[in-house]
Amino acid sequence: MNSMKRVGWCIVLLAGLAFRLPAASSDASDFKEVYDLLRSHLSGTDDKALNRAAVEGLVKQLYPKVTLLKDSDVNSTKGWSGATSLLKADVIDGAFGYFRVGQVSGSLAKDFAEAYQKMSTTNRLKGVALDLRFAGGQDYGAALATADCFFADEQPLIDWGDGMKKSTAKEKAIRVPLMVLVNAKTAAAAEALAGALRQSDVGLLIGTTTAGEASKFKEFPLKSGERLRIATSPVKVGRGESLPLTGLKPDIQVEVSLEDEQAYWEDAYKILPVGSRAARKDGAATNETSVTGTNRPGRRLTEAELVRMHREGRTLDLEGTNTARRTGEPGQPALQDPVLVRAIDVLKGLAVVQPFRARSD
């Protein structure tokens, strides 16, 4: 009987979702009423099917705080376990390092540091674009180690349930301006990495709001052989702020469809059909504060303006700034990825004025 009651409550929760019944206004009699109606009138469905539908409905409603893992992905999340940590390292316009992350895993910090060191020995780098779009992972230690590459002194970075972990003092920290590229598929440990860099005023986020999956999870085995992964505590960054389950909002919003962005992510120089190009929304600001007064056509924002707006919590809309696609050297293809183009523009603007933050060489 208790089992049937539990099923009934689950069914009603699912029914409330399906029929858009406001759960907050329902009481015990409402649950029983809907459950009895389903049992009496829903043809072709037995208790087992209703139970499965209730479970899947609950998981869907509570995602990303709850995930039902199949046998094939018990030890992974969305295929991250098979992804390479650092997918690409390249130099754009001879002065800006571009690093594309596939997965925030144990080797990322080492791979990134080695790639940056090799790149900086042959190029005078003036900025870095760290691409975390479509990146995930559950290794928060790797996120910590990667973020640590950008700090010369000890600062609080990430707490994923075992206390706030700090950066380490070092002489060879990366001290050039940083832009972090994010989108709706930037998830879990990749969000923690982005959040730690942003909250510590090391870099700015550009792109679209992240997935909102940065939490400490615990897995519980089920009788079916599946596992239920439940978010037991939020991940905190910087000064102890919890990463929101609604995702991190970018400082500079650039709207691109995921389909187009996937194509650009795979080949930043690819020219897509005109109808497929990224459509920028009017009024890209994501909060009430407008920054259009500083975005007159043809004018670049100064470093002081960028940093001040970031610290005041104001969203940066650079629609009026110079965002022409990079033409590169004569005979070289032009950069087409709208998010990467905007990131390079900001880095170039910062390189023209003064360093993004005080350096300690």
For residue range 282-305, list pLDDT tens digits in order: 333 333 322 333 333 334 444 455
- The confidence score (pLDDT) of residue 238 equals 92
Question: Is residue 321 included in any domain, yes or no?
Answer: yes
Lowest pLDDT segment from 37-51, 106-120, 242-256, 308-322: 308-322
- The confidence score (pLDDT) of residue 361 equals 45
> Of the segments 89-98, 268-277, 310-319, which one has the largest average pLDDT value?
89-98
Residues 146 and 17 in one domain: no
Percent of the chain topping pLDDT 90? 50
Range of the structural domain that residue 322 is part of: 80-353
Q: Could you tell me which of 148, 228, 149, 246 has the C-alpha nearest to residue 191?
A: 246
**DSSP output for 312-339:** TTPPB--TTS--PPP--STTSPPP--HH
Q: What is the mean pLDDT of the chain?
A: 77
Question: Is residue 73 included in any domain, yes or no?
Answer: no
Instruction: Write the pLDDT tens digit of every residue in 143-156.
Output: 999 999 999 999 99
- The confidence score (pLDDT) of residue 192 equals 97
| Cβ proximity of 179 and 130 under 8 Å | yes
- The confidence score (pLDDT) of residue 66 equals 86
pLDDT above 50 (res 319):
no
Domain tally for the chain?
A: 2
Question: Is residue 69 included in any domain, yes or no?
Answer: no
Question: Is residue 67 included in any domain, yes or no?
Answer: no
Q: Does residue 30 or residue 352 have the better pLDDT?
A: 352
> Of the segments 180-184, 243-247, 283-287, which one has the largest average pLDDT value?
180-184
Q: Could you tell me which of 211, 214, 247 has the C-alpha nearest to residue 232?
A: 214
Question: Is residue 359 included in any domain, yes or no?
Answer: no
Instruction: Write the pLDDT tens digit of every residue in 109-144.
Output: 999 999 999 999 999 999 999 999 999 998 999 999
Question: Is residue 72 included in any domain, yes or no?
Answer: no
- The confidence score (pLDDT) of residue 317 equals 46
Q: Say how many CA atoms lie within 13 Å of 176 toward its Cβ.
A: 24
Residues 58 and 131 in one domain: no
| Cβ proximity of 253 and 315 under 8 Å | yes
Q: Tokens representing 159?
A: 């707490």
Instruction: Write the pLDDT tens digit of every residue in 36-56.
Output: 777 778 888 777 877 787 778
Rounded CA-CA distance 86/130 in Å is 10
Lowest pLDDT segment from 2-6, 71-75, 135-139: 2-6
pLDDT above 90 (res 158):
yes
- The confidence score (pLDDT) of residue 73 equals 53
The domain that holds 101 is classified in CATH as 3.90.226.10
Residues 17 and 133 in one domain: no
- The confidence score (pLDDT) of residue 3 equals 45
Q: What's the rounded mean pLDDT across residues 213-229?
A: 89
Rounded CA-CA distance 257/117 in Å is 34
pLDDT above 50 (res 78):
no
Residues 98 and 134 in one domain: yes
Residues 347 and 285 in one domain: yes
- The confidence score (pLDDT) of residue 101 equals 97
Q: What's the rounded mean pLDDT across residues 167-174?
A: 95
Residues 252 and 347 in one domain: yes
Rounded CA-CA distance 323/338 in Å is 9
Beta-bridge partners for 136? 103
Rounded CA-CA distance 102/319 in Å is 29
Beta-bridge partners for 205? 180
Rounded CA-CA distance 150/170 in Å is 10
Question: Is residue 323 included in any domain, yes or no?
Answer: yes
**How many other C-beta atoms lie within 10 A of the C-beta of residue 38?**
18
Q: Does residue 9 or residue 209 have the better pLDDT?
A: 209
Question: Is residue 71 included in any domain, yes or no?
Answer: no
Residues 158 and 299 in one domain: yes
| Cβ proximity of 177 and 206 under 8 Å | no
Lowest pLDDT segment from 90-104, 224-238, 304-318, 341-355: 304-318
Q: What's the rounded mean pLDDT across residues 80-89?
A: 77
Q: Tokens representing 128?
A: 């870095």
Lowest pLDDT segment from 77-91, 221-235, 333-347: 77-91
